[in-house]
Amino acid sequence: MENVRVRFAPSPTGALHIGGVRTALYNYLLAKKHGGTFILRIEDTDQTRYVPGAESYILEALAWCGLQPDEGPGIGGDYGPYRQSERKELYQKYTLQLIESGHAYYAFDTPEELDARREAEKEKGNHNFKYDGSVREEMNNSLSLSKEETQARLSSGEPYTIRLKVPRDEIVSVKDIVRGEVSFQSNELDDKILLKGDGMPTYHMANIVDDYLMKISHVIRGEEWLSSTAHHVLLYRSLGWEAQMPQFAHLPLILKPSGKGKLSKRDGAKLGIPVFPLDWEGDNPEDSFPGFREFGFDPRAVDNFLAFLGWNPGTEQEIFSLEELVEAFDLQKIGKAGAKFDFDKAKWYNQQYIMATDNKTLAATIRPLIEAKGHQPSDAYLERFCGMMKERVVFYPDFWENGYYFFEEAKEYDEKTLRKKWKPEFRAAFDELRQRLQGLSDYQEAAIKKEVEAFMADHEMKYGDVLPILRIALSGTTKGPSIFEMMELLGSEEVDRRLGKAYADFDTIKTS
Ligand code: GLU
């Protein structure tokens, strides 16, 4: 495939939903696979829905996922500007061209008139009023009014919109890479507004003009845009650009984890899972959302997970780096069926990535989390800690949650287990163990283990009598990595100090 130029074209109307990130990812993968260009275009022509901060959120989310655009706002490129609000004149120019060629017309109907008409239709039982070829002659537009009247209205400064004149009785077909041939009956299509009263284009007009001028080869976007494609095909045709029309690939819906219905931004809050890449702070709590990043995901896991929401390589392999995804990606292998947002699978991916990461990288990643808790471990300590914990975490913050006792004393003891395992009369033996450990010259995992075992033999005790108590004394819990390795890392002084304190604490716990 040559000259692949694809675009991710979000509207800055709020946080970018995770489905948008998937769209960006698929565009990126296709571009990189074919040595093409991945373009970011900001579709900000709807001033009423513009949300400050949304554009920088989009850029940050793409950067976090490693999906760096080759062209875009703030990046540059030969086809800019890449913000639609900065391209107004272009859309006006082409809309006028459509008027001149008879494919579009001026419409003077005021919002009040349109509402009244809609109401009147409702009373007649038609709840779905469309401004289309069946009614356009009855409306206030340059097709129904005389030339002079139209001219007079235009010169008087009366507000107007420009609408596409959709042809009657035609089948509009488009070949979609995912869905095959998709056909629309033109009588079902309304005369879409192309240019609004404020002189701004609508999505349809701006999108087509830009895809053409930016030499877009493939339009890869969510299924919700499939129905707009009929209008887009008509626009390409009317502008005389049919030969340059990009290929379309409409991505399957992302479904709720239950598989019932489309994943919505509210599902995140309902299910306690992120459905946005990064935290988003809205004007009120209902409009604020947690992000994958802040949840503690590794962006590589997010890319891998998202890649599989609608695509699969047709093999058993599930773990793909971004480079491997680029290699394997194929538009033909995108499925039609909705893809379930399986959060457990996302967690599984994250675990796989964390486990496969070297300790040095992990240490650098989690250092800020540990420092935020007031600890400054050495690199060596932190790396060793990561090595011991990485198979026991799902998210990055779990390193702290599950292993905080490597940095400070246990906050509480697992009393339930203590009640079963600790008896005040054990104190003398455990004091002896403490002393024996303190006397070790070689405070290494193997030597510690040997000493504990020797102690057990002397007292005819089993692992189950000793290790849970040691563990609880050192970490508060019975879960964790190898206790002997943990002791080595904590060091003899810290182990001794904690044992001393814990034994005293244990005596205050009522045991059965
Ligand atoms: N601005 C549209 C959106 O917000 C772009 C759709 C398209 O890719 O054509 O998703």
Residues 50-78 have pLDDT tens digits of 999 999 999 999 999 999 999 999 999 99
pLDDT at residue 512, rounded to an integer: 46
Structural domains of the chain, ranges and CATH numbers in brackets = 5-71+212-253 (3.40.50.620), 89-177+180-194 (3.90.800.10), 265-356 (1.10.1160.10), 409-511 (1.10.10.350)
Min mean pLDDT across 92-101, 108-117, 222-231, 268-277 is at 268-277
Coil, strand or helix at 421? helix
For Cα atoms 103, 227, 105, give the angle at the middle one, nearest 5 degrees. Answer: 20
Which uninterrupted H or E stretch holds 251? strand 247-251
Residue bearing the CA closest to ligand 1, atom 10: 10
Q: Are 40 and 21 in contact (CB under 8 A)?
A: no
Q: Which residues make Cβ contacts (< 8 Å) with residue 344, sequence separation at least 6?
A: none
Residue of 203, 236, 248, 265 best suited for mutating to test ligand 1, as the one with most atoms within 8 Å of CB: 203
**Mean pLDDT of all residues in 327-356:** 97
Q: Which helix (H) or strand (E) element contains residue 113?
A: helix 111-123
Confidence of residue 510 (pLDDT cuts 50, 70, 90): low
Query: Which residue among 265, 347, 449, 450 is the active-site one?
Result: 265
pLDDT per residue over 401-422, tens digit each?
999 999 999 999 999 999 999 9
Both tokens of residue 289?
A: 């959302």
- pLDDT band, residue 119 (cuts 50/70/90): very high
Ligand 1, CB cutoff 6 Å, lining residues: 9-11, 43, 203, 207, 221, 225
Q: Which atom of ligand 1 sits closest to the CA of residue 221?
A: 8
What's the whole-number average pLDDT of the chain? 96
**Strand order in 161-164's β-sheet?**
104-107, 161-164, 193-195
SS3 percent helix, strand, coil of the chain, rounded to 5, is: 50, 10, 40
Distance 91 CA to ligand 1 centre (A): 17
Q: Is 265 a catalytic residue?
A: yes
Task: Return the closest-CA partner of residue 263 out of 349, 342, 345, 347.
Answer: 342
Q: Which helix (H) or strand (E) covers residue 255, if one does?
A: strand 254-255
Give me the pLDDT at residue 284, please. 86
Name the residue of 46, 82, 221 to mutate for ligand 1: max ligand atoms within 8 A of Cβ. 221
Residue pair 25/238 in contact by the 8 Å Cβ criterion: no
E strand residue ranges, 151-217: 161-164, 171-176, 180-185, 193-195
Helix ranges, 264-373 (H) = 265-271, 292-295, 299-307, 322-328, 343-355, 359-371
CA–centroid distance, 117 to ligand 1, in Å, is 30
Which residue in 208, 198, 184, 174 sits closest to 98, CA to CA? 208
- pLDDT at position 260 is 92
The 3-state secondary structure of 297-319 reads CCHHHHHHHHHCCCECCCCCCCC
